Amino acid sequence: MARNRIKYVCSSCGYESLKWIGRCPSCESWNTFTEELIEEKKTGKKSHAGDEQISKLSDHVVETEERVKTNIAEFDRVLGGGLMPGSVVLIGGDPGIGKSTLVMQAASKVDGDVLYVTGEESANQISLRAKRLKVTGDKISIMTETDLDVILGGIKKLEPKVVIVDSIQTTYKPDFDNAPGTVTQIRECTVELMQLAKKTHCAIMIVGHVTKEGMIAGPKILEHVVDTVLQFEGERSYSYRVLRAQKNRFGSTNEIGIFEMHDDGLHEVLNPSEIFLSERDKQTTGSVVTASIEGTRPILLEVQALVTPSSYGNPQRVATGFDYRRLSILLAVLEKRANLRLSIQNVFLNIAGGIRIDEPAVDLAICCAIASNFSDKFARNDTVVIGEVGLGGEVRSVNHIEKRIQEAAKLGFKRVILPTNNIKAIKSKADIEIVGVDNLGNALNKIF
């Protein structure tokens, strides 16, 4: 093989180079370059110059298209109300997290014909899974195929409402010499599926093994191509799974759907607060409840902190379900503004239930949990703590305060500690005592 037939492609962002490079100059990830063949330019293509089609925006009559409901409420909410006909949805997640299970359950509930294309499992394995998930009915057609041209033919023949391609890493186009799963194959296959979706008005769900760090080929490249990117995630050792929208041309990206894994498949979690607090030990130091907003829903969560003296000069900091750098900042604020000597302590932080939060409104609860465990005092267990903490130790106001308060009241909490600046925005009266605080020291006095 001639030397110049090889190129190196970053499997994270698609950057191409003729030499192997350790670190991608475009997305700065390490060790992501893989060898691929350079595809020959197809000759004999006719130029389309001269066929430009330009129309006035106002000439287009907008028909609002009916969404195809998956009839799984959590799934539909994340999609923005259901699948949009003619759109492509990428469902990414670690291998084994439950993507195939989720799409199979969705397939069984869609009103209309579904074509399930799999390159990962045999028809027998699929029917075994269907049996386990108690999926019945003859609306689902199965195709065990990896050749994209055959798949496209199948879609044209069956004209289903919804197509599932599981997974994009096993699908390949025979016109290209590259192996399945390479950047070229993934990109080309997705683009063709996208074109077919637009033409035939079917909704296509593509499953992709995509880790959070985007280590396996595809994520960043595909994000630009598809209409919606959903990430299915969860800690492997917990039974909760969260479906999160990362990009959505037809809806908000704030929504999340929560599921719980069972032997017979995924069950929707419609009352997440109750579940996440169900195992809380009320008689322990370092445990504080906070109200986070996920999408449009408030969720009460337990923040747990463990502070132990560090015997070596290098204290450990571990955060599960929370940003590690944010924890370091909060520890520095606690040290400087609340005079807690944490720099010689190991600090372990955990958001119970295996869920991840990225909201600043949980800062204050994290500080209170750490202070509670450090000083060996119980934080009041009838209290919910809400607020963002600034570098000066000030407690800053947060959004959606009323929703958070109502959720706390609904779950039987008696007190809520929140930023003073939020108090004037509270209009409705909930049956709960409201304690306003404007700085960290103040909050730490009120929590015990």
3-state SS assignment for residue 164:
strand
Only one of the segments 94-102, 213-221, 313-321, 335-343 lies at the binding site for Mg ion (rule: CB under 5 A); that segment is 94-102
Phi, psi (rounded to 5 degrees) for 342: -95, -10
Pick the closer one to ligand TYD by CB: 265 or 387: 265
Residue pair 303/440 in contact (Cβ under 8 Å)? The answer is: no
Pick the closer one to ligand TYD by CB: 100 or 184: 100
Min. distance of Cβ 95 from Mg ion in angstroms?
7
Pick the closer one to ligand TYD by CB: 97 or 368: 97
x/- mask, ligand TYD, residues 99-138, rule CB under 6 A, reads xxx-------------------------------------
Min. distance of Cβ 103 from ligand TYD in angstroms?
8
The footprint of ligand TYD on this chain (CB under 6 A) covers a number of residues equal to 13
Comparing C-alpha atoms, which of 202, 210, 201 is closest to residue 229?
A: 210
Q: Site for Mg ion (CB under 5 A): which residue of 29, 100, 290, 350?
A: 100
Min. distance of Cβ 210 from ligand TYD in angstroms?
10
Q: How far is CA 79 from each of CA 88, 113, 219, 220, 256, rounded to the nearest angstrom?
A: 11, 19, 18, 20, 9
Only one of the segments 39-47, 92-100, 238-246, 285-293 lies at the binding site for Mg ion (rule: CB under 5 A); that segment is 92-100
What's the CA gap between 285 and 371, in Å, rounded?
9
Does 96 contact ligand TYD by CB under 6 A? yes
Residue pair 401/420 in contact (Cβ under 8 Å)? The answer is: no
- 101 touches, from ligand TYD, Mg ion, none (C-beta below 5 to 8 Å by class): ligand TYD
User: What is the per-residue DSSP string for 206-273?
Assistant: EEEE--TT--SS-HHHHHHHSSEEEEEE--TTSSEEEEEEEEETTS-SS-EEEEEEETTEEEE-S-HH
Please name the helix (run of DSSP H) or strand (run of DSSP E) that holds residue 420, with its range, or none: helix 420-423
What's the CA gap between 101 and 295, in Å, rounded?
24
Residue pair 359/325 in contact (Cβ under 8 Å)? The answer is: no
Does 97 contact ligand TYD by CB under 6 A? yes
Pick the closer one to ligand TYD by CB: 44 or 96: 96
Cis geometry, peptide bond prior to residue 167 (ω within 30 degrees of 0): yes
Comparing C-alpha atoms, which of 156, 250, 168 is closest to residue 200?
A: 156
**Which two three-digit tokens encode residue 209?**
């093994």
Pick the closer one to ligand TYD by CB: 100 or 397: 100
Min. distance of Cβ 95 from ligand TYD in angstroms?
5
Min. distance of Cβ 204 from Mg ion in angstroms?
16
Residue pair 146/170 in contact (Cβ under 8 Å)? The answer is: yes
Pick the closer one to ligand TYD by CB: 134 or 249: 134
Only one of the segments 91-99, 287-295, 386-394, 435-443 lies at the binding site for ligand TYD (rule: CB under 6 A); that segment is 91-99
Q: Which residues pair with 116 in a beta bridge?
A: 142, 164
x/- mask, Mg ion, residues 7-36, rule CB under 5 A, reads ------------------------------
x/- mask, ligand TYD, residues 246-285, rule CB under 6 A, reads ---------------xxx-xx-------------------
Q: Which residues bind Mg ion (CB under 5 A)?
A: 100
Interacting residues toward ligand TYD by CB under 6 A: 93, 95-101, 261-263, 265-266
